[in-house]
Structure 1
Amino acid sequence: MSHLKSWTQEDIDYLEAHFGKCHVSKIANHLERTEIAVIGKARRLGLTMLTAGGYITLHELSKFLEVNNRTIKRWFEAGLKYRQKAILSKSYYFIDVGEFWSWAKNHKQLIDFSRMERGVLIPEPSWLDEAYKNSQKAAIKRHHVIWRPVEDQFLLSSLKKGDAYETIASALERSVRAVKARYRKLVSEGVAERKRYRLPWTQIEIDMLMDMDKQRLPDKEIAEELGREIHDIRYRRKRLREKGIHNFRKRKSS
């Protein structure tokens, strides 16, 4: 393989279509280049959200499974393995696709497979088809279940206590989307008052906030990565500063 081989548009198109979806060695063999050359070119093109070797970022995993970032972080606490890597001066949280499927096999009750984008987290396990069908049936069943007054009361009281939507949804055996929609409906009907409920922070979230602050990422990007509101990010930073845990201060220009 030649280190001086010029990149054609056809080469770039192939790289953009396959980088992160298959191993670097396969791409390198097809393009007749070294693996280092492939990775270097991918980074220069900004292809950093999916990495070679079967890893996916926390944000991308949440996107493909249609859950928020907080859900993924709670899976970390439930045993899902992750790695933290620095790419182009930024820090990302990565999950090995194979390890995700191994973990998911034993935690099917936590995942709504019917909402995931198929054919992305490859190779998909043989048991996924059945799990996908079961999730579809459960979703259809939940869609037609009428909310009872006792469930409404449980929803509102749980929010006041600071319980996360995922926790409430699990207790009610409904989807997070359904729980949020029900709360909005109760607010619109005047049954509940619109409030900003502060959900409890996990240690992983706090560590991620402090790490991203060190990188001087904007609050908007931090909020997106953590799946929280900007005001929640600023409030938590203030509380950490008051406790002497985190001395970082945002520059006025940011």
Structure 2
Amino acid sequence: MGRNSNFSISEVEYLENNWGIKSINAMANDLNRSISSIMNKKTRLQLGAFLDNGEYITVNQLFKAIGREKGTGYTLRNWIRKGFPVKNKKVLNSSFRVVYLEDFWKWAREYRMHIDFSKFKENELGLEPDWVKGQRRADIAFSKYKVTQWTKKEDSQLESLLGIFRYSYRELSMQILRTEAGIKRRINDLGLNMWPIKDLSRSWRSEEISIVTDMYNNGYKSDVIKEYINKSAQAINGKIERLIRDGILVKHK
């Protein structure tokens, strides 16, 4: 194998059409050329890195694009269980986990509630589907609710507000910027004998149901939806479950 002649027009077209799709070994074999000659020609043609072909990216590049630096191993395993379309791509003697962008966007739309788009810069992976902008807005709205470990200052603030016996879960959540479920867990973890006051029970108004339906369909979480209606996230979750059961809403995957 290995010819010293210049690349023909058809060979150049072959490289341009197959770069990043076929392995380097396969292209060298198809053209009856050495790997080094393929790599040299690739440089002269400015074809870019093998994994920068625009059709797919490595899993590491994907996590970097969406702003995930920690816990990527757990996230990937969780995604794979949900059908994440990861594939193995071999380049010379190295193997990479990659995902084709078209396959990713199809999967992401179906499982978008498992992806945090708040740090996902617009068009970071090239032109993105229209629905991504709305999901990005929804995730940015939720990002103010902290999911990090509670600080002593937050614990003191929570205990102080509970001691006033004036605030509901909804009101505490909007002051402390923790989810209602997170506040409930923290009260249990701290062994506190104080609880938020109960929200007054009242019937749902049609405009409230419309807001819940619209925001849910656009990827908003209940802790954000509660900011737009005078209902707790827990009450909103219950309403969403009933709307799903009645066939009005489709449950997120």
Same fold (TM over 0.5): no
- Greater Cα radius of gyration, structure 1 or 2: 2
When normalised by structure 1's length, the TM-score is 0.41
When normalised by structure 2's length, the TM-score is 0.42
Larger fraction in helix = 1
